[in-house]
Structure 1
Amino acid sequence: MGFSSAAAMCALLLCLAGHAALRVAAADPEEIRDFAPPPPGTALDGNYFTSTRLRNSNVDQKGTIANVTAVNVNFFPALSGLGVSNALLVYPPGGVNVPHTHPRGTETLFIIEGTLEVGLIDTTAPVPMLFTQTLHKDDIFVFPRGLVHFQINKSKKTVRAYASFSSTNPGLVSLPRTLFGVNADIEVLKKSFQEDGAGRYVQARGPLWCPQHGSRTLVHSIEVLKHGLVDQITWKS
């Protein structure tokens, strides 16, 4: 008996969630000192506790993908052992932050400017649930560690947001990049998503239940995931 596309998508999401759960076991090591000392040759002064990485990042962007500037321990060594990191996100009109997970950290997203649509998939319930929200300036949304989530700017203006993480390096697993950025057997992907031909997708009834709409949603298709076109998700009345 073959799998339906809905079952395939459900299995995919559960596998990704399980993979993330295994990786979160390696949490940030606790810093037993007040802070980690600077590397050899680096002065211990105010500059050590300062990051200027975001100074030139808050500019308007073009294209369809959000620009994310991370400030984690790789760029800001003073964060080592403190269990926090940050990022600035700039969404051009129509831009998306494609479906992804952070296997090592919970994220809170603060809207600096504009209106942003966000989505969060909970795969721990008997029926995986999709939670969506429209965020406005000064709103905050939380994405629990390891859960698939996304954002999309459906407005005609640039949206800016500030993300905080409960890890010095929360990690990033991009679903489009993970699924299509490697030399996976295309036949496996086509059969999993019931893709009938190149350049088009089949909208299939999916296993995700949306409490806000009280109805099942149409699942991300192969093209939606491949190109990050989250706005292709439609609601079944």
Structure 2
Amino acid sequence: MRVLLNGDFPTTFKVLKASMAEFPALNGQSVSYAVLEYPAGSVNPPHTHPRAAELLFLLNGNLEVGFVDTTNKLYTQTLQQGDMFVFPKGLIHYQYNNDTKNGAIAVSAFGSANAGTASIPGSVFNTSIDSGILAKVFLVLSLKSNEI
């Protein structure tokens, strides 16, 4: 974590993790940690942690955060420095720094040494799922036929 103290603030969203993969002493301890740096206007895209809830503490700046429950209801909150927010285990969530001039820094604690992260855009669009199937699922018009 020393790189946080001696490095420059990133120009894109950045996560520095302390999970079992980076810090093997966490094996069996049911806890892990991450520091999240959000430059102005950046976003931590929709994702989920399949093995842990996340408790986010905002150290600096402002963030818009939200998660979607199992009935597809969106819960959002605008956080200010010193606020906390919990993302329930396995639910899709995001964080967005809507400040166009200032960065934000948050610390997240997880109830697992290996919370896992499944990026929704990465899981959907960086795979070999046929683009025609994705177009139908996301109601995108086909460039060839203008049909859904």
Q: TM-score, normalised by structure 1?
A: 0.57
Which of 57, 61, 66 lines up with 2:10 in the alignment? Answer: 61
* Counterpart in the other structure of 1:25: none
1:161-185 deviation line (CA, Å, top 9, x unaligned): 0000000010010000000011110
Aligned pair 1:171/2:116, yes or no? yes
Q: CA deviation at 1:79?
A: 1.1
Q: CA deviation at 1:196?
A: 2.0
* Counterpart in the other structure of 1:6: none
In 1, Cα distance between equivalents of 2:24 and 2:124 = 32
Please, which runs of 5 or more residues in structure 1 have no aligned partner?
A: 1-53, 199-237
Q: Which has the higher contact order (CA 8 A, sep 6+)?
A: 2
Q: CA deviation at 1:191?
A: 1.0
In 1, Cα distance between equivalents of 2:142 and 2:107 = 39
Counterpart code for 1:74: A
Which of 139, 149, 152 lines up with 2:83 in the alignment? Answer: 139
What RMSD, in angstroms, separates the aligned Cα atoms of the two structures?
1.2
**After superposition, where does 1:6-155 map in structure 2 within 5 Å?**
54-57=1-4, 59-63=8-12, 66-123=13-70, 125=71, 128-155=72-99
In 2, Cα distance between equivalents of 1:171 and 1:82 = 15
Q: CA deviation at 1:195?
A: 0.9
1:23-80 deviation line (CA, Å, top 9, x unaligned): xxxxxxxxxxxxxxxxxxxxxxxxxxxxxxx1113541113xx201110011112211
In 1, Cα distance between equivalents of 2:56 and 2:19 = 15
In 1, Cα distance between equivalents of 2:119 and 2:22 = 21
Aligned residues: 140
SS in 2 for 1:108: strand
Identical-pair percentage: 43
SS in 2 for 1:119: strand
In 1, Cα distance between equivalents of 2:142 and 2:35 = 38
Q: TM-score, normalised by structure 2?
A: 0.90
Please, which runs of 5 or more residues in structure 2 have no aligned partner?
A: 144-148
Which of 152, 157, 180 lines up with 2:125 in the alignment? Answer: 180
In 1, Cα distance between equivalents of 2:123 and 2:28 = 29
Which structure features the higher share of helix residues? 1
* Counterpart in the other structure of 2:146: none
Which structure features the higher share of strand residues? 2
Counterpart code for 2:9: D
